[in-house]
Amino acid sequence: MDLLGAQISQLRTTLGESPGAKKVLVVYAHQSAGSFNASAKDAAVEVLTAQGCTVEVSDLYAVKFKATATAEDITAEVKNPEHFRYAEETRLAWEEGTLADDIKEEQRKLTEADLIIFQFPMYWFTVPGIMKGWIDRVLTSGYAYTQEKRYSQGLFKDKKAMLSFTTGSNESMFSATGINGDMNVTLWPLQNGILHYCGFQVLAPQIFWAPSHVDAEARGAMLKAWRTRLQGLLGEAPLSFTPSDSFDGDKGFQLKPEVQEKHEGREFGLTVGTHQGKRLPPNSQIRAGV
């Protein structure tokens, strides 16, 4: 255990928290306390706390979280003001302890968390801008990833993360034959390109299909199902992603020939993104074990 881990463990013991207790961070993005997303967030806090978890919420709209990634995120002078490169400058700032206080605070929460739940309404097939700002600013180079430490070898490989969100369209519209296209394709950039990239074990998403278009009874059933899932959430198996060692870094990070040969005769590709020109594997971004 590193020094920071030992300090956190000691603090938990001092505060009377069991060493086996889990810490959960809910990154929440909705403007209204009366929204369905607020109810989903509250359910997560209530059920997980009842299981002995310590749950912390980052309510992005409430704190007016800054969404834009700019030089203001560094409290010292930037190294190259003539050609400001955010990833490089914030990596150096993280190393030197000169990141803005709001970034440091969110990184503290993330460092301590065993599970991160992103709770949000889907906007334009992705997360709201304020949550994208959290991702851009908090998951800095060096802290959340490096060229050597990413994907299955990522820095957060001992943590779990998941998306929990509402849609504005019915489930049928997000199908392989629906007008919005396959939800598995929509989720690939978020779950693979952000969460898995940083090494997280990605749990299957919790999707609340168009709650604004159904009656109160149906919304209640959605929340009941979420509460039931929360009871066993920490023990769920994560989604499957192709391991980093399946790719040859000396050849542009292409699938190794032996991996391609192994899957050559199979009906479906490996994943939504790395599909080898085959049919996309069904529900690989929706359910574990498919």
pTM above 0.75, yes or no: yes
For residues 169 and 181, give the distance between their C-alpha atoms in angstroms, rounded to a whole number.
Answer: 11
Q: What is the pLDDT of residue 24?
A: 98
Q: What is the pLDDT of residue 186?
A: 97
Alpha-carbon distances of 99 from 91, 147, 158, 200, rounded to whole Å: 9, 21, 24, 23
pLDDT surpassing 80 at residue 3: no
Q: What is the mean pLDDT of the chain?
A: 92
* HSE (side-chain half, CA atoms, 13 Å) at 243: 4
**Average of per-residue pLDDT across 47-51:** 96
Q: What is the pLDDT of residue 6?
A: 45
CB 203 within 8 A of CB 196: no
**Average of per-residue pLDDT across 148-174:** 96
Answer with the residue of higher pLDDT: 277 or 208: 208
Q: Determine the length of the chain.
A: 290
pLDDT surpassing 80 at residue 21: no
Dig out the tokens for 227 from the structure: 């509460």
pLDDT surpassing 80 at residue 193: yes
Cβ contacts of 85 within 8 Å, gap of 6 or more = none
> Band of the pLDDT at 2, cuts 50, 70, 90?
very low
Cβ contacts of 93 within 8 Å, gap of 6 or more = 73, 74, 75, 76, 99, 140
Q: What is the pLDDT of residue 203?
A: 98
**Average of per-residue pLDDT across 237-266:** 91
CB 230 within 8 A of CB 44: yes
CATH of region 16-239: 3.40.50.360
pLDDT surpassing 80 at residue 92: yes
> Band of the pLDDT at 290, cuts 50, 70, 90?
low
Closest to 114 (Cα-Cα) out of 285, 234, 2: 234
Dig out the tokens for 277 from the structure: 């020109």
Boundaries of every domain in the chain = 16-239, 242-290
Note the pLDDT tens digit of each residue in 213-235: 999 999 999 999 999 999 999 99
CB 42 within 8 A of CB 133: no
> Band of the pLDDT at 249, cuts 50, 70, 90?
confident
**Average of per-residue pLDDT across 241-263:** 91
For residues 195 and 197, give the distance between their C-alpha atoms in angstroms, rounded to a whole number.
Answer: 5
What does DSSP assign to residue 35?
S
